Amino acid sequence: MSLVQELIAHKRNGNILSLKDIQSLVSGISDHSISDAQVGALAMAIYFQGMNTDESAQLTLAMRDSGETISWKDYQLNGPVIDKHSTGGVGDLVSLMLGPMLAACGAYVPMISGRGLGHTGGTLDKLESIAGYNVIPDRQSFQSIVKDVGVAIIGQTQSLAPADKRLYAIRDVTATVDSIPLITASILSKKLAAGLDALVMDVKTGNGAFMRRTQDAQALAKSIVSVSKAAGCPCSAIISDMNQPLIASAGNALEISWALEYLQGQHKGSRADQLTFALATQLLVQCGLYSSAEQAHAALSLSIDSGKAAERFAKMVHALGGPSDLFEKPERYLKTANVVKPVIAQQSGFVTGIDSREIGLCVVALGGGRSIPDAPINHSVGISQCPELGQYIEAGDVLMSVHAQSEDDWSNAAQRAQSAVTVSSSAETMKVQPLVQQIVS
């Protein structure tokens, strides 16, 4: 085995890592024989030099095989095992709705999600807003819940892709989050370890996405689809717009509240509704449960209108240690911030720009995200009533609301959030990007 520093230098200098090199490095990441500093240096070398398709696939599979993999053979499921993953955005809570909707349509969804990275929120952080919700059950409990309920959204256990768990945390604090090979390996090592029959990706682009440029989002989508297929898991990707928050709220408990409303039939026609249906429809057809997009769309609509998707979400929450009456009494289980006050618009006009990344960073600064791994989160803080692009606002109207721990926190966030919204007298030159920009398969 070469010295770790020699392998780091090899990649830093733009050379290709062999399968043996990659397996050695992943083994060292897993057993901590490679230091945090060396892992960070390796991540930075990959960030700048990239990886070819073979390297990326080998890294993905080595990380998948760094721990246990899940088999569903003994559970006699009567439907496909499928999942969705997003590269992350602001107000992106699609997983919370999509998982139970797919389950209500006959699929099984073992969704292994992550925490927030940088300015984007994490599905696990949102779910931990719910009192008692256990994001890391043992594997047998996880699989039993998936079989009985149809969906379980959890985090990585120590035994599942442990190399990724450590690398994921170090990437977050070393400015190496938006590396295509590292994102590909991180996402797929967990997803492939879950024993999936099909996967759909939501790759975001725009000012609130890690892949701000469309060409970067396209490159990531193609990387994930090709590596997933090479590993035997059918995969497609949707490239979606993140030039404004997906919903009017950003913050953990606030997004859970929005998801509960959605599952009870509210927010139809919203951007989040459109994206949820686009991703779920793609996946239901891809896995063979429905033969056409029209059939899949109708089944998904029925899952909401009949209350079956809400029922699946409620059962999942209770099975994972949360309350049994979350829908009936959300205020009992979701904390609210100490200070909730509106930010007032200073001028009349059309909203012609929203810096989604800055909105996300406001939430982090309020305590709703992390600047170091495993830091505690205040689940109650965030932004709500955020406007949409093209919306007309009068001076003196509420521009948005800030949910903060203290008056000082509110004041700082209010100034920052207000500067993230551009209001102009005319919207003629503004171009709102389509929500679904491209499908990669």
Catalytic residue among 11, 56, 60, 84: 84
Active site residue 83: yes
Residue with tokens 């929500």: 435
What's the CA gap between 314 and 200, in Å, rounded? 24
Active site residue 129: no
Residue 434: Cβ within 10 Å count: 9
Catalytic residue among 60, 66, 123, 205: 123
Q: Which of 177, 244, 173, 188 is nearest to 216 (CA)?
A: 177
Known catalytic residue at 335: no
Maximal C-alpha separation, the chain:
67
186 is catalytic: yes
Catalytic residue at 406? no
Instruction: State the catalytic residue, choosing from 85, 126, 204, 308.
Output: 85
Half-sphere CA count of 288, side-chain side, radius 13 A: 7
- The answer to whether 123 is a known catalytic residue is yes
Tell me the C-alpha distance between 414 and 344, whole Å: 9
Enter the DSSP assignment of 197.
S
Marked catalytic residue, from 171, 312, 370, 379: 171
Of 83, 125, 241, 355, the active-site residue reads 83
Check if 318 is active-site.
no
Q: Which of 11, 64, 166, 191 is catalytic?
A: 191
- Cα 26 to Cα 273: distance, rounded to the nearest angstrom: 39
Q: Which of the following is catalytic: 126, 190, 315, 370?
A: 190
Catalytic residue among 24, 95, 176, 186: 186
User: Is 297 tagged catalytic?
Assistant: no
Region label for 387, one of left (φ > 0), alpha (ψ between -120 and 50) or beta (otherwise): beta
Q: 245: buried, middle or exposed (CB in 10 Å: 19+, 13-18, 0-12)?
A: buried
10 annotated active-site: no
Q: Which residue of the set 30, 86, 189, 240 is catalytic?
A: 86
| CA separation for the pair 195, 115 (Å, rounded) | 21
Residues assigned a catalytic role: 83-86, 123, 171, 186, 190-191
